[in-house]
Structure 1
């Protein structure tokens, strides 16, 4: 009903009988109110969704510049800026394994202008740190961006040439195989402990302060297994100094196309994907979430964007907000169980 029509039907001032309707008329108006409200609100909802975004978006990357998480954060920020018509600006907020930046993002206004990139560490951190927010209830999943593989490498001098041979060797010599990690409680630690549990083997954990030293001692044979990022290990695999036994994702990686998955190598059920995706604070408007998710999907359907990811060892992995929410919840459950088995407790 237009404003002009309403003005024609309004009675002259002072006509109290028309201004204050009868009881029956009042009941009729109350019955109509929900429908009138819905009809009135629908156009405004569409206008608000169409107007988003009308200023730059902040993408919190809870890690320092450089490294895989930062690469994915800058990649998707660029893609979103291209699709949304507003700049998406990366804000690196490092600390506590990503917890500091994620907490800041979770407490931001839920208007779609502050997004946070999370990765697999998000599912591990509740086992390592005491959080000030609920990692499921206090966020809005927007969508996954990418999957990344790790690779299980051994020194080239080791007799085991396949994953099955390595498992057989470890079973024959319990407690004599050393595995390197980038630190106690790290995802590499938990992933390797998970592998050992599934394979039924007993190995000795040798933690290092970072992946570099762990890889160095695996190269020399001081440690006999390291689950590494592919870019770190690739030059040594190509040089014949390390042997790649398997990648940890459900599909092979284009940077190591001849290396089988763990399932193909005989260890079903072992899968570790370095996923990354975007979340927002709890209570984001559904139309804004849909818009962002659609833009992620459009970006990851472009061959040029897919190629950028593949060249860095990642796979485009768009999904729905609901699917990404399940990925987060399942990751929290899995890595929480593994952490309890290993004996890792929050600081």
Structure 2
């Protein structure tokens, strides 16, 4: 009788352990540091939001989280580093819109659709169409009218091919039936410096990057790329309002893992990130930047990426941009 009771106790203990083990495995049990790779320079929107999220993500997963900047080639270098990393959940990519644009502009050393697993779309940030404070355009309509009257004469600047600051104006030009000359700079920061110096007629800048210059009067905001007006700039019309056609464009931010990462890790990270994005402090920061939290499922993010890729492919083709 005693032996039977002892055996029953052992069986119960074994069952309990078997139930605990999968949960521990799904979390990051060995306590290694998670590296969030941001493939852009420090100081940008993606970098700022990745650092904000990392502060709250570590406690959710029971381990430390660090942000590593690996900039270069419009995000290609950092993304490739994650593609080549071990699929164990300890190397995470925090990327943005160039990941959807680059495949249509240059030959890449990886296939983002096949080599990366979407975890969640973190959020979207609109852009402001801005001009120098002394520009002769009182409104976006004035600028578009001048562009239509002199095709290819007016200029717009960006951080170069692969950036949404280049492709979003091209998308607007096509929708509005105008032509403007693209002036590429070596980085988004240099493009902003050029805009502040009046070197170009117009530029699209991420709202967090240019809003301060608009508020202090160095730049004037003529339109915003979101579908609705933004609470931070309620008097600035949307591009869609200006051109009278559907238009919206954003810099999206999202999280990815290398191909081959177990589904339980993907789902665990998705859950943790969505919990982080629901934290009031995090939401308040997004609101202050003019960004909107999305916090999607992996499948919804995959569908969004597919639609984005198709849109930018069509934009590149219509603009006649040659693949490098």
Is residue 2:98 matched to residue 1:121?
yes
In structure 1, C-alpha distance between the alignment counterparts of 2:71 and 2:210, rounded to whole Å: 25
Give the whole-Å Cα distance in 1 for the aligned partners of 2:178 and 2:20. Answer: 58
Inter-partner Cα distance in structure 1 for 2:233 and 2:67: 30
Aligned to 1:20: none
Rg bigger for which structure? 1
Q: Could you state the TM-score of these two structures normalised by the residue count of structure 2?
A: 0.85
2:304 matched to 1:327?
yes
Deviates more, 1:141-150 or 1:202-211: 202-211
Instruction: Give 1:286 shift.
Output: 2.2
Q: Deviations over 1:227-285 (max 9, x none)?
A: 11223322332233432111112243343233232223344332221111111112322
Q: Which residue of 2 aligns with 1:9?
A: none
Aligned 1:55-134 pairs, distance under 5 A: 55=31, 56-134=33-111
- State whether residues 146 and 275 of structure 1, in contact with CA within 8 Å, keep that contact through their aligned partners in structure 2: yes
Check the 8 A contact 1:59/1:116 in 2, yes or no: yes
Alignment match, 1:47: 21
User: What residue is the counterpart of 2:200 in the other structure?
Assistant: 223
Correspondence for 2:250: 273
Structure 1 consecutive aligned stretches of length 4 or more whose deviation exceeds 4 Å: 43-46, 219-222
Q: 2:113, 2:20 → 1: CA distance? A: 28
Query: Is the counterpart of residue 186 in structure 1 residue 163 in structure 2?
Result: yes
Q: 1:301 to 1:232 in 2, by over 3 A?
A: closer
Asked if 1 retains the 8 angstrom alpha-carbon contact of 2:133 and 2:219, the reply is yes
In 2, the alpha carbon distance for the partners of 1:217 and 1:288 equals 44
1:236 is aligned to 2:213: yes
Unaligned runs of 5+ in 2: 1-5, 9-14
Alpha-carbon RMSD:
2.9
**Aligned-partner Cα distance in 2 for 1:60–1:237:** 31
SS at match of 2:143: helix
Which residue pairs with 2:281 in the alignment?
A: 304
CA distance 1:216–1:282, shift in 2 (3 Å): closer
Report the Cα distance in structure 2 between the residues aligned to 1:267 and 1:44, rounded to whole angstroms. 61
Instruction: Say whether 1:142 aligns with 2:119.
Output: yes
Cα distance in 1 for residues equivalent to 2:295 and 2:217: 35
1:155–1:291 CA distance, 2 compared to 1 (3 A): same
| Offset from partner CA, 1:180-221 (integer Å, 9 cap, x none) | 222345332222111101110122222233344444444455
State whether residues 127 and 344 of structure 1, in contact with CA within 8 Å, keep that contact through their aligned partners in structure 2.
Answer: no
TM-score scaled by structure 1? 0.80
